């Protein structure tokens, strides 16, 4: 693969950045540069915001049917390129080819869902206490939205922010994570090819300084962010200071709780997929496992047996189950988090050792690792590792299991495995998470359904489905008397 030139997309033009150089590294073969270019300067960020501001009135006032057609056409462009761009995603980010292609198709699905939104009702009509008066609360767009996205879903997460932002009539300036700029370009290209007018979507490459400018810029009406809790908190604080609406989806340390009555073989498959799918780099990955004493030994045997068949290597190889993590830095942090856990008393059930990939010695590989702890008072239990690591603990009662699952400040997703209806009912009330799965893995978000976390995992209105309207529009109430 020859090195691709990275560019910003500002006011409808693809322009090289004038800032620090930016290399997009293949995490499977770190001596290979997938794409190369330069970050945007702050002046280029300002130009992108100015373009979005200039494009806003015409985009807002465009007939809804036109906005709808552009989004559905972009969905088709993504579908047409799903193999090619899914392969690039897999090379750039490290998830398997099936996951890469699946993610591009997911982005298309999201665009298609939101292509329906401009055509749906945009407000409510209220009764009035005065004769001949109508009261209308209409939903109107906010203006320029800053979109800041993480590395782990390079096209699906941008799609679930940008598609609703555009559908409801806003314009966008988007900063993707530095490690996945190529798929960001592909997403912008799909919308460009679909006929999106100049300036409606602008893409700027950059790191924290570009992100900070996008949060603080006076012409930015609102900020939607997905990423770590530490950065999310800073973004929320800045927006609070500036009285700017903010939506932040952040970290998670998601539990799977396995209780009596669970189908252990199926549950083991789900837990492994949840923990190690996409190399454990999903905000909704299963990172904690709470096992009721009655099934603990048998369940641990099952997952250890199944993980033994889990193959780690080149994500483009269809026989591979798990690719590398995103960067050398991520690999080193994950390894030291695991080592710290072991030093604090965790027992290694599998993994926690170098991966033997002799032909891929420059790859950022981490073995799928399962640890067991005796009590939840260790940082391993409440700290997001964001890699292929799962920590197990045993509970002697169901209430204790739920309490362990709720320990810590996060509340993104959770799974409960049991076929006992009484336990299911208790679980859905007891578990503190924005998304609860019964007998399925902690990951998974349908485009038409609200998604987001509680506590330190999420701030502001939920994403996806019609709930996105809460964030990407505001209401204007009109008291209307004809005379």
Q: Give catalytic residues, as residue numbers.
A: 249, 283
Q: Residues 88, 117, 384, 441: which binds ligand NAD (CB under 6 A)? A: 384
Which residues share a beta bridge with 134? 480
Nearest to 163 by CA among 193, 201, 198: 201
Residues in contact with ligand NAD, counted by CB under 6 A, come to a total of 31
Q: Assign 3-class secondary structure to 216-253.
A: HCCCCCEEEEECCHHHHHHHHHHHHHHCCCEEEECCCC
CA distances to 329, 371, 385, 439, 460 from 336, in Å? 11, 14, 10, 32, 33
Exposed / middle / buried, residue 451 (Cβ in 10 Å: 0-12, 13-18, 19+): buried
Nearer to ligand NAD, 118 or 252 (CB): 252
Q: Is 280 in the site for ligand NAD (CB under 6 A)?
A: no
Residue 199, token pair as written in the block:
């300036």
Q: Is 144 in the site for ligand NAD (CB under 6 A)?
A: no
Q: Residues 27, 141, 158, 211: which binds ligand NAD (CB under 6 A)? A: 211
- Minimal distance, residue 149 CB to ligand NAD, in Å: 6
- Minimal distance, residue 457 CB to ligand NAD, in Å: 6
Q: Assign 3-class secondary structure to 157-210.
A: HHHHHHHHHHHCCCEEEEECCCCCHHHHHHHHHHHHHCCCCCCCEEECCCCHHH
Q: Residues 152, 254, 464, 473: which binds ligand NAD (CB under 6 A)? A: 152
Q: Residues 147, 389, 412, 423: which binds ligand NAD (CB under 6 A)? A: 412
- Minimal distance, residue 159 CB to ligand NAD, in Å: 13
Q: Residues 56, 85, 113, 151: which binds ligand NAD (CB under 6 A)? A: 151
Count of C-beta atoms within a 10 Å radius of residue 3:
13
- Minimal distance, residue 84 CB to ligand NAD, in Å: 24
Q: Is 226 in the site for ligand NAD (CB under 6 A)?
A: yes
Q: Residues 147, 235, 272, 289: which binds ligand NAD (CB under 6 A)? A: 235
CA distances to 49, 65, 170, 465, 471 from 72, in Å? 25, 11, 17, 16, 22
Q: Residues 43, 119, 208, 344: which binds ligand NAD (CB under 6 A)? A: 208
CA distances to 3, 275, 377, 384 from 347, in Å? 44, 18, 15, 18
Q: Residues 36, 72, 73, 207: which binds ligand NAD (CB under 6 A)? A: 207
Alpha-carbon torsion, ordered 398, 404, 410, 414, to 10 deg: -40
Q: Residues 68, 82, 122, 149: which binds ligand NAD (CB under 6 A)? A: 149
Q: Binding mask 3-42 vs ligand NAD (x if CB under 6 A, - otherwise)? A: ----------------------------------------
- Minimal distance, residue 421 CB to ligand NAD, in Å: 30
- Minimal distance, residue 328 CB to ligand NAD, in Å: 14
Please enumerate in sequence order all residues whose Cβ is within 8 A of that of 117, keeping only pairs 6 or more positions apart, or say none.
Answer: 68, 164, 167, 168, 466, 469
Nearest to 166 by CA among 127, 205, 114, 126: 114
Nearer to ligand NAD, 154 or 169 (CB): 154
Give the residue at shortest CB distance from ligand NAD: 211
Which residues in 242-261 contact ligand NAD (CB under 6 A)? 249-252
Nearest to 194 by CA among 21, 76, 355: 76
Which residues in 452-471 contact ligand NAD (CB under 6 A)? 453, 457
Nearer to ligand NAD, 118 or 158 (CB): 158
- Minimal distance, residue 281 CB to ligand NAD, in Å: 7
Tell me how far apart the alpha carbons of residues 300 and 349 are, in angstroms, rounded to a whole number: 9
Residue 364, token pair as written in the block:
């950022």
Which residues in 71-130 contact ligand NAD (CB under 6 A)? none
From 65-73, 148-156, 296-304, 418-426, span contacting ligand NAD (CB under 6 A): 148-156
Which strand (E) or helix (H) includes residue 35?
strand 33-38
- Minimal distance, residue 438 CB to ligand NAD, in Å: 21
Tell me how far apart the alpha carbons of residues 330 and 335 are, in angstroms, rounded to a whole number: 8
In the complex, the residues that contact ligand NAD under the rule CB under 6 A are 148-153, 157, 175, 177-178, 207-208, 211-212, 215, 226-228, 231, 234-235, 249-252, 283, 384, 386, 412, 453, 457
């Amino acid at each position: 693969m020859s090195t691709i030139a990275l560019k910003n997309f500002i006011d409808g033009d693809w322009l090289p950045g004038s800032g620090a150089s930016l290399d997009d590294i293949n995490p499977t073969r770190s001596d290979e540069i997938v794409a190369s270019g330069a970050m945007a300067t702050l002046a280029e960020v300002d130009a992108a915001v100015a373009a979005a501001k200039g494009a806003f009135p015409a985009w807002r006032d465009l007939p809804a049917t036109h906005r709808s057609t552009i989004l559905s056409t972009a969905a088709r462009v993504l579908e047409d390129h799903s193999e090619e761009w899914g392969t690039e995603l897999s090379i750039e980010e490290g998830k398997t080819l099936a996951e890469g292609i699946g993610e591009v198709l997911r982005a298309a699905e999201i665009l298609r869902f939101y292509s329906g939104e401009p055509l749906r009702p945009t407000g409510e009509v209220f009764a009035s206490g005065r004769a001949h008066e109508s009261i209308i609360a209409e939903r109107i767009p906010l203006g320029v939205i800053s979109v800041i996205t993480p590395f782990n879903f390079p096209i699906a997460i941008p799609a679930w922010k940008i598609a609703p932002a555009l559908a409801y009539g806003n314009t966008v300036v988007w900063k993707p994570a530095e490690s996945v700029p190529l798929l960001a370009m592909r997403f912008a290209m799909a919308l460009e090819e679909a006929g999106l007018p100049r300036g409606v979507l602008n893409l700027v490459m950059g790191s924290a300084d570009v992100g900070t400018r996008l949060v603080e810029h006076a012409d930015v009406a609102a900020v939607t962010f997905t990423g770590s809790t530490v950065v999310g908190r800073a973004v929320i604080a800045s927006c609070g200071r500036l009285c700017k609406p903010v939506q932040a989806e952040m970290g998670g340390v998601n539990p799977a709780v396995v209780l009596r009555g669970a189908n252990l073989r199926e549950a083991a498959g789900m837990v492994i997929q949840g923990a190690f799918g996409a190399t454990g780099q999903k905000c909704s990955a299963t990172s904690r496992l709470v096992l009721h004493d009655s099934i603990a030994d048998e369940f641990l045997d099952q997952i250890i047996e199944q993980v033994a068949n889990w193959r780690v290597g080149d994500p483009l190889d269809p026989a591979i189950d798990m690719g590398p993590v995103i960067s050398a830095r991520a690999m080193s942090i994950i390894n030291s988090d695991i080592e710290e856990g072991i030093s604090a008393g965790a027992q290694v059930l599998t993994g926690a050792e170098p991966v033997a990939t002799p032909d891929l010695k420059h790859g950022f590989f981490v073995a799928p690792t399962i640890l067991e702890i005796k009590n939840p008072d260790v940082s391993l239990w409440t700290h997001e590792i964001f890699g292929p690591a799962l920590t197990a603990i045993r509970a002697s009662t169901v209430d204790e299991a739920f309490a362990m699952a709720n320990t810590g400040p996060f509340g993104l997703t959770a799974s409960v495995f049991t076929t006992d209806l009484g336990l299911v009912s208790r679980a859905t009330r007891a578990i503190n998470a924005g998304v609860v799965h019964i007998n399925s893995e902690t990951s998974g978000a349908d485009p038409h359904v609200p998604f987001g976390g509680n506590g330190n995992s999420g701030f502001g209105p939920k994403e996806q489905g019609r709930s996105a309207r809460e964030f990407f529009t505001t209401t204007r109430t009109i008291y209307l008397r004809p005379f």
